[in-house]
Amino acid sequence: MEKLAVLGGEPIRSEKYPSWPVFDERDIEAVTRTVISGRWGGFPYPGPNTAEFAVKFVEMQGGGYAVPMLNGTITMEVALRAAGIGWGDEVIVPAYTFQATAYAPLVAGAIPVLVDIDPDTYCIDPQKVKEAITEKTRAIIVVHIAAQMANMDLITKIARDHHLIVIEDSAHAHGAQWRGKGAGTIGDFGSFSLQSAKSLTTGEGGVLLCKDPEMAQRAASIIDCGRPKDPEGVQYTMGVNYRWSELHAALGLVALERFPEQLKQRELMANYLEESLSEVPGIKMLKRDLRLTRRSFYRYIIKIDPKYFGCTNETFCYALKAEGIPVDTGYPPMNQYELFQPSLSKLPVPSAFPEYFDFDAMSFPVAECAKWRESVWMGESIFRSGEEGVDDLIAGLNKLVKNRTDLNALNLNT
């Protein structure tokens, strides 16, 4: 039996998985053209590249009115502000997501109310959403995490019953579809990140999709220092400069050309992976909900059975990484997240409503189990590495299966 690489054996894979982002002459030409045009900035907003990107993004995602801006965090802040959500309002947020999802309500003056996730999908648990609703609740932010989508049928119903706004944090879900409808086009708002790791990227950037054209006008006004965007040009808002640059938008137009083929390729490889994964003992996939009619692969999560392997996901990832397979244990629950520290800020909300921020008193058993026991996250590059790259991942997993006694010993030592 081959020794684990972490114990000095030969790693399964020595070659790196493909890097991201990818580029070619088209990116260089698009940026060069923009540089020569002299129109680099966003003002007056939107510039020609940004306006064209907005139209094409809507076509790609399948609906809404797109307002491009600086990143996929302020998109959510702007959505809340456009919807009139602010001081003292409660916004329900999943406890398992990047810190941005909980940060956005805070800077809009609202209170993020954390709830646990569904163990089958790792997306927000609709039952927990219902339980968290109070007379102060104004919005739900769902996160379509790692090739999954939140149960939009139930979330939409709950929101309708309680007159709540729904924001879909779709930072992981470019191109994904629920019952044939694009992520971010089902709720009132869809928030997208174009940050450099994302499966559609321009280095930095964000897009807010709005269902209602008036909301899109308000959002566009908020990000352009409050300038009116209604047809009559009379409705001012309290705004700020969150405009996107034309250089980023130039990259975005090329990224959109490439994206459909990349989406297909990643899905093809993910299907190939899943055929083999189902045969690896001790490994489970998240649930494949058939209403998720098109999946998008930015991150992909599998669950390990810690009892079978005699170790938790941390040791498992440590050993698999040593085999040349890049994996990690993913997001911590928000109340234990080193990147989310409202009490260390002088933001007004945590000072005014300290009762919402007693993180030690909070418990999110599913998110905790995901982070500290079961989940193994992998990046989209595995799905661009051809069958050979996916085969290496499977070989790595099978090697850990065979060597699980050693994993158990490692677990005790870490």
Ligand X SMILES: Cc1ncc(COP(=O)(O)O)c(C=O)c1O
Q: Per CB under 6 A, which of residues 316..345 are in contact with ligand X?
A: none
Q: Per CB under 6 A, which of residues 140..159 are in contact with ligand X?
A: 143
Q: Which two tokens stand for residue 231?
A: 């047809």
DSSP state letters, 60-129: HHTSSEEEEES-TTHHHHHHHHHTT--TT-EEEEESSS-THHHHHHHHTT-EEEEE-B-TTTSSB-HHHH
Q: Can residue 98 be called a binding residue for ligand X (CB under 6 A)? A: yes
Using DSSP bridges, classify how beta strands 189-193 and 165-169 pair: parallel, antiparallel or unpaired: parallel
Q: At closest approach, how far in Å is the CB of 248 from ligand X?
A: 11
Q: Which stretch binds ligand X (CB under 6 A): 92-100, 126-134, 314-322, 403-411?
A: 92-100
Q: Can residue 193 be called a binding residue for ligand X (CB under 6 A)? A: yes
Q: Can residue 97 be called a binding residue for ligand X (CB under 6 A)? A: yes
What letter does residue 7 receive in the DSSP assignment?
Answer: G
- Identified binder of ligand X from the candidate list 171, 270, 301, 311, rule CB under 6 A: 171
Q: At closest approach, how far in Å is the CB of 81 from ligand X?
A: 16
Q: Can residue 72 be called a binding residue for ligand X (CB under 6 A)? A: yes
Separation of alpha carbons 228 and 191, rounded Å? 22
Q: At closest approach, how far in Å is the CB of 345 from ligand X?
A: 17
Q: Which residues of 208-223 are buried (b: 16+ CB within 10 A; e: fewer)?
A: bbbbeeebbbbbbbbb
- Distance between start and end Cα atoms, the chain: 23
Q: Per CB under 6 A, which of residues 199..218 are in contact with ligand X?
A: 206
Closer by beta carbon to ligand X, 138 or else 198? 198
Residue 77's contacts (CB-CB under 8 Å, 6 or more residues apart) are 104, 105, 107, 108
Q: Which stretch binds ligand X (CB under 6 A): 77-85, 95-103, 130-138, 334-342?
A: 95-103
Q: Can residue 100 be called a binding residue for ligand X (CB under 6 A)? A: yes
Distances (CA, A) of 299 to 167, 173, 175: 20, 10, 14
Strand-pairing partners, residue 66, are: 209
Q: Per CB under 6 A, which of residues 109..138 are in contact with ligand X?
A: none
Closer by beta carbon to ligand X, 75 or else 312? 75
Q: Which stretch binds ligand X (CB under 6 A): 2-10, 68-76, 213-221, 269-277?
A: 68-76
Q: At closest approach, how far in Å is the CB of 239 from ligand X?
A: 19
Separation of alpha carbons 27 and 23, rounded Å? 6
Closer by beta carbon to ligand X, 73 or else 151? 73
- Identified binder of ligand X from the candidate list 90, 125, 169, 374, rule CB under 6 A: 169
Q: At closest approach, how far in Å is the CB of 195 from ligand X?
A: 4
Q: Are 205 and 74 in contact (CB under 8 A)?
A: no
Identify the three-state secondary structure at position 171: coil
Name the site residues for ligand X (rule: CB under 6 A): 71-73, 97-98, 100-101, 143, 169, 171-172, 193, 195, 206
